[in-house]
A and B are shown apart, each in its own frame.
Chain A
């Protein structure tokens, strides 16, 4: 009998079994997944969380900016004018010739007592294009010149409610409704019917221009379309989400490879059985890869459900913070689809390699359940080094574009960062091999653990690569933040501490309307001619606010002097004040702490070491000091003393000129700002009351903004890196150690104590963690040095001088120590399967 005879006997059967065979194998894989899902829980959880986080994160990121048609309504074109003049009228007339047009006019008004403003807006509520930009919350839209509808913010600022009358735009109007712009909830405006804005400061014409008709508007008319606005930002949130998704899935695939390998090994006998009854290599590969695909599909579906549920739960809060209404199904479906597909692809890819490996095992060996000998993988460091060098060069090229500001090198930047990852992946096995050599003289447990890591590099190498990539991302953020926030000249960070308020002199509100409380505590509006307040009146107002808050008031004197200089491509920014005794006392700075020759005191760390920083001051028409002429002067080498007790906020007096310098250079100063320092964080109601009082005193109140500090960003990034690394370790250490469970049994039989078992696991976890941290930190520095070496805007390599030692130490030593401790503790709770070779 020949094989042809066999085929003839089989009739029309396909050689590989065709669809029935694939269906049978897939059915078995599905059954295995159902019965053994606990063994795949970590992989499943990882994929689920990644997909859910991607969906939620990308939905938030994509919907955070205003919608693409924000400012356009249903129109396809818009033209904006900064004022309403004859030219404006002429262009609008031309637009009318093209078809329907809707004109929206705005005039900006100050909200008394606040640095915020609102718009008096004339817009037809049911105009041809503007409907999506208007939404009625309550009441009705204004129907005539005597009616106005306001946003919640305006109603709150002026104490308005529907039915009240309010003088705005020089006209007494009745408030008939509460409105909002669903596309921009941040917009605070008072809506009136068209033609009711006295002096429009911004005029927008919405229209649909017929194809090829725009030239008729004449030269110099800038016509915007939603597409042109969107194109101005090539790195849109969807692109960033997709990039983050690819990175996340790469990490998941790396970690999952180990998981599926162990899973395939556990099923080796079953696979041997399948082969013994005639399954081909393709069928065997299908069993493992179908299992991977099933895990990917289930993870993707669960991730979508959880991500979508999370979005539904978060949407109300998100709308408040994003300042525009977002639809329930306003998900970035391309990203969602890509996330789900990538999850399946990553799981399939992760299971394919073990699937190929398992077909190389002889059937008899598989049937006996004997583990395959460790697969030796390439240990040369050369490919990894070459790829990292290429990444380094690409990053350098990207950093040097745009004349040294890094603008224009986005593709090279992204490619460089992406290339770093395969570079680290290729270096990981080499590093494991190197570590094994280093540990040859270590005690038995350490030696054995390091040797096992090197022996099973196929498994531990992928885990190490995943850890290093997680740490790499964190370290790049840490170093970039440290370099940016360490620039003491272009100072960045939060403006004030949460227990501080800054009071600034405000211009008299336009419209001559002020709001104050009457004797009964009710809000009343007063239409008066407002004169500019005198310094004494401003000081009295500030004092009144401070008294109301029961806090200390510090007058901030602004000298007619400032610092100037450049460091790392960035120039000095910020206001300096005078180091008055009151200010110094408020921050606990004693006179004895101050260098008698100091010209400037600062809390900006490193400012005293900046070379080329000089102090310019203007003449005051009186006596002239050293280096001063009639029009002012400059001290090229001011003596700067760093005092950390001074406040650090960008709007706080972080840099002050000493009275010694004031006298030396005859610098004058005047009080225009005040600082209020409370004993604890100010509540929103306290800030609101302060603003109310400030409104009557021509002052504005500045409170802490949402900008994070450098240390906050660095700490969160550090935490992110550590959590990712520990998560990967939690998944992979058990897998790596389970491969050597027979060794463990032998060790136990030869009298090794639980100390040895604990030490094995602890060293495995600690060593993997440390090596991952080392690779990640090294990769991060390579990336940053590559990027900054030709990037003058961001200070070149010197920007890395400020090393966040604490955070890096935490990543390099803290994380591995935690991993080792947890490994030590959990080693005693190893499952029974560790003690014997798992059969299926």
Chain B
């Protein structure tokens, strides 16, 4: 059973003459442990696809299944619970709450889910430790670098028993070194059994994925097979620095 499955999903914005098709009839299945990259030009519907997959938006047509459960019949609160427990979201601009420290940001989904502050913090610290941010746990987002913020965001997205990681241009605001570092972490999460969908403009980062889906004008126009391994790509970059 796929962790994420989109069945004939379409999304329209506006009404009447102003109606715009953001995505049309998209089918997508992401298995546990696999990483899927979504690529396409601006306005092709990449982010819309991700927000619908993450239950942040409702499709106009079609259905979204998360671990076999259909989103269409869920209430707002049930979707919120799903986001707390199953879906981790990573944004381009980190979206950390600036009033909370790094560890509080990470443990927030757990606390919102009813886990005591002490236990949530322990799990949050464990997640940060896994990403090498233990010494930054009590810093506020303003006191962290861009790379550190995105690592915190990833820690927040994978903390608990999340099984689906959705990342919208996770390296968009980072330099290439930090960008690759972030991708490595996402890949590591996938190796731990998490299904991940990453929206990116960067073909090099997309090559890390098991599969790349190309969108144009809201439609899936192409899909690649698993590319060479990232390590092989890195080696080729070193050999050809241009």
Contacts and interface: CB of A to CB of B under 8 A. Distances in A.
Interface in B80-121: 80-87, 89, 91, 95-100, 104, 108-109, 111-117, 120
A9 B84 CA distance: 12
B123 to A, nearest CB: 12
B113 A10 contact: yes
A599 interface: no
Interface stretch (B33-41, B51-59, B169-177, B219-227): B51-59
Interface stretch (A27-35, A222-230, A409-417, A433-441): A27-35
Nearest to A24: B111
Interface stretch (B61-69, B189-197, B229-237): B61-69
Contacts of A35: 98-99
Nearest to A283: B112
A362 interface: yes
Nearest to A10: B85
B46 interface: no
Contacts of A14: 114
Contact of A20 (B68, B86, B117): B117
Nearest to A277: B109
A27 B121 CA distance: 14
A363 to B, nearest CB: 4
Interface stretch (A78-86, A267-275, A613-621): A267-275
A223 B115 CA distance: 67
Contacts of B96: 273
Nearest to B95: A273
Contacts of B97: 28, 270, 273-274
Contact of B112 (A9, A25, A281, A840): A25
A273 B95 CA distance: 6
A39 B201 CA distance: 38
A280 B57 contact: no
A31 B117 CA distance: 16
Nearest to A18: B114
B120 A20 contact: yes
Interface residues of B, number: 41
A148 interface: no
B108 A277 contact: yes
Interface in A251-285: 269-270, 272-283
A2 B69 contact: yes
A383 B84 CA distance: 44
A286 to B, nearest CB: 11
B161 A280 contact: no
A40 to B, nearest CB: 14
A297 B56 CA distance: 34
A676 B86 CA distance: 93
A5 B69 CA distance: 10
A128 interface: no
Interface string A529-553: 0000000000000000000000000
A13 B116 CA distance: 10
Interface in A439-493: none
A840 B120 contact: no
B108 A3 contact: no
Interface string A795-832: 00000000000000000000000000000000000000
A20 B161 contact: no
B138 interface: no
Contacts of B108: 24, 28, 274, 277
B46 to A, nearest CB: 13
Contacts of B54: 276
B29 interface: no
B83 A840 contact: no
Contact of B56 (A3, A13, A18, A363): A363
Contacts of A16: 77, 114
Nearest to A282: B77
Contacts of A5: 67, 69
A13 B113 contact: yes
A279 B112 contact: yes
Contacts of A15: 77, 81
A418 interface: no
B65 to A, nearest CB: 9
Interface in B101-148: 104, 108-109, 111-117, 120
A31 B68 contact: no
A679 B154 CA distance: 85
A49 B217 CA distance: 58
A281 B77 contact: yes
A23 interface: yes
Contacts of B100: 27-28, 31
A6 B85 contact: yes
A198 interface: no
B108 to A, nearest CB: 6
Nearest to B116: A20
B57 A17 contact: no
B111 A21 contact: yes
A364 interface: yes
Contacts of B111: 17, 20-21, 23-24
Interface of A: 1-3, 5-7, 9-10, 13-21, 23-25, 27-28, 31-32, 35, 269-270, 272-283, 362-364, 367, 840
9 tightest A-B contacts by CB? A278-B84, A31-B99, A1-B67, A24-B111, A278-B83, A13-B114, A273-B95, A280-B80, A363-B56
26 contacts: A3-B81, A3-B82, A6-B85, A9-B161, A10-B85, A14-B114, A15-B77, A20-B111, A20-B120, A21-B112, A21-B113, A27-B100, A28-B99, A31-B100, A35-B99, A269-B95, A273-B95, A273-B96, A275-B56, A275-B80, A276-B54, A276-B89, A276-B95, A278-B109, A278-B112, A367-B95
